[in-house]
Amino acid sequence: MRGKRMAQALGWPVVPLALVIPFIDTSPDDEVITKLQEAVERYPAYGFSKLFKILRRWGHPWNHNRIYRVYTVLNLNKRRRGKKRLPARNPEPLVVPSRANTVGQWTLCATACSVVVVSGRLTWSTTSIEKYSPLRLI
């Protein structure tokens, strides 16, 4: 026997499921409110999830549902302001060098690659020889 028939057999009143009142923690939320406001003052850009983790890190054992209920009662569930972005840059076109292997006033003269044994391991070593001419213009 289940549900309605069992309640009738035991003489209990039959209560529809919609009228069952869930358990609500009636303990005062004053401490939750003060600690949550302290965390919001210290970390104003943080949302609920980060504030919940901070309260846990501070050693408070409160459930996330309880903290979120207080969070919404205090109207803290507003959208946070995003980061300020840098303005768009105006990139300049790339300069085409007048001849190969020249960049600005630097001229790449030679590049040498070799294999070097360092502490029993083979490694690649590159050496670049560059020449700078201060009078040269593009």
pLDDT band at 80 (very low <50, low <70, confident <90, very high): low
For range 49-68, the mean pLDDT: 94
In this model, does residue 27 exceed pLDDT 70? no
Q: Which position has the higher pLDDT, 124 or 62?
A: 62
Output the pLDDT for position 50: 93
Buried (b) or exposed (e) across 122-137, using 16+ Cβ within 10 A?
Answer: eeeeeeeeeeeeeeee
Give the global pTM. 0.42
For range 23-37, the mean pLDDT: 81
In this model, does residue 8 exceed pLDDT 60? yes
For range 18-24, the mean pLDDT: 58
Share of the chain above pLDDT 70, in %: 57
For range 1-9, the mean pLDDT: 73
Mean of the per-residue pLDDT values for the chain?
A: 75
Model confidence pLDDT, tens digit, residues 86-120: 888 888 887 776 777 665 555 545 555 566 666 66
